[in-house]
Amino acid sequence: MFKKVLIANRGEIALRVIRACKELGVETVAVYSEADRESLHVRFADDDVCIGRPPSRDSYLNIPRLIAAAEITGADAIHPGYGFLAENAEFAEKVTASNITFIGPTPDQIRQMGDKAAARKFAKEQGVATVPGSPGPVGSPEEGLELADKLGFPVIIKAAAGGGGKGMRVATDPEQFGQSFTLARQEALAAFNSDEVYIEKYLARPRHIEIQIMGDQYGKVMHLCERDCSVQRRHQKLVEEAPSPAVDQALRQDIGDAAVKLAEAIGYVGAGTIEFLLDADGSFYFMEMNTRIQVEHPVTEMCTNFDLVKEQISVAAGAPLNLVMNGHRLRGHAIECRVNAEDPSRNFQPSPGLITAYHPPGGPGVRVDTHIYAGYTVPPYYDSLLAKVIVHGNTRTEALARMRQALDSFIIEGVTTTIPFLGRVMRHPDFVAGKVDTKFLEREPQLLKDQT
């Protein structure tokens, strides 16, 4: 096992990794920007290093400073969390070259799956269905338009290097296609330094279903069932649950097998997620792979009783997977709501500032992963995630009731939060019935309005 792990991240995920390390008896190093001096991850780690000014590029994205911080503190491994450098192959390579273990897959695996157009091609070669679309990157608007005409509108243009919903545009008709194509390319270039894009048919009412994967260094891969992340805004997840109300054991086996097949084909090591779109007719299509731990990993932990972060660290240290779940061992139902410092009635405008009062929900089956506290100031520089509320129940109905009571008793004052909005989602008849797809919020704009 490692002696000391540096966490190249901040916020709730830094705390999550620190907790896992403490349970494993591993020391921790927190890194922080000048804006995060008062953060809990700094207080709870054994060691801490300030790595620069608040903007991410000067701190959490600064590779030489992160590696220097690990060297100075004697850390023998780095956990990247999610976001920032978690899927940056160059970072993984430089960490490894400095004789430090990168807690995650190999740089080659990150690269292979990081290019979404290449990953699509790879999935197809492995016999896993992908959404109908371009065989590879599309070079010109003319070529794109010809293909879109063949596929039928609407289509979605996506950045090959994409992530976080950036560089993604839907084109609804041929007239609008050229402009959407150019915009997607420009956005892709600005966000990822690559203007390569590809095209997929834009499915009408898909569900977002993803499979949690874990692989060890000896070629063994298992999956830990699906998560349903269909409640989205602008292609970004807001609520996640496991198991999916739309997946039965047979479908679970099929999607799980497809995911394991892909991960095995690249000898995948560590925690990863393979994302699919599930169409209304039960067909599922590979969309992309995320080569890291995800924000929504706790719903899987709650209904498999398996600590994904501890396992991620153990596997990186060379431990073998000692059980293979592959869709079994599910118990009950888990739901996660992402509580953000945002105002849904104002287009989810961020609401940074001082938290004046804080009281988290509790009780049986309620888990809150957060880094905030009364007196904490939410800085304007990073994402606006304040807390994740995760509940577990013996049934979906019990989990839903638990989530409603948890949200209703969650007090955060001083900043505007998405708590009331999430409470409305948890009471919406379609969500209660488990009948939502990725366009649910588009159809229900009244959910965004402040009703108090």
Distance CA 234, CA 425 (A): 16
Min CB(202)–ligand ADP separation in Å: 4
Is 43 exposed, middle or buried, given 0-12, 13-18 or 19+ CB atoms closer than 10 A? exposed
Burial 371-380 (b: 16+ CB within 10 A, else e): bbeeebebbe
Q: With binding defined as CB under 6 A, does residue 287 bind ligand ADP?
A: yes
Min CB(100)–ligand ADP separation in Å: 28
Give every CB contact of residue 197 below 8 A, 6+ residues apart in sequence.
137, 138, 144, 157, 158, 159, 160, 167, 181, 184, 185, 188
C-alpha to C-alpha distances, 55 to 30, 93, 380, nearest whole angstrom: 17, 24, 10
Q: With binding defined as CB under 6 A, does residue 284 bind ligand ADP?
A: no
In this structure, are strands 357-359 and 197-201 parallel, antiparallel, or unpaired? unpaired
Measured in residues, the chain has a length of: 452
Min CB(119)–ligand ADP separation in Å: 10
Q: With binding defined as CB under 6 A, does residue 203 bind ligand ADP?
A: yes
Q: With binding defined as CB under 6 A, does residue 275 bind ligand ADP?
A: yes
Q: With binding defined as CB under 6 A, does residue 441 bind ligand ADP?
A: no
Q: With binding defined as CB under 6 A, does residue 29 bind ligand ADP?
A: no
Min CB(132)–ligand ADP separation in Å: 9
- Which of 10, 292, 338, 402 is an active site residue? 292
- Mark the segment that binds ligand ADP (CB under 6 A) among 79-87, 156-164, 341-349, 441-449: 156-164
Residue 292 is a catalytic residue: yes
159-198 footprint of ligand ADP as x/- string (CB under 6 A): ---xxxx--x------------------------------
The amino acid at residue 383 is: D
Among 288, 296, 301, 343, binds ligand ADP (CB under 6 A): 288
Residue among 168 and 263 whose Cβ is closer to ligand ADP: 168
Q: With binding defined as CB under 6 A, does residue 132 bind ligand ADP?
A: no
Q: With binding defined as CB under 6 A, does residue 210 bind ligand ADP?
A: no
Min CB(164)–ligand ADP separation in Å: 5
Hey, which residues are catalytic here?
A: 292
**Contact residues: ligand ADP, CB under 6 A:** 131, 156, 158, 162-165, 168, 200-203, 206, 208, 232, 235, 275, 277, 287-288, 438
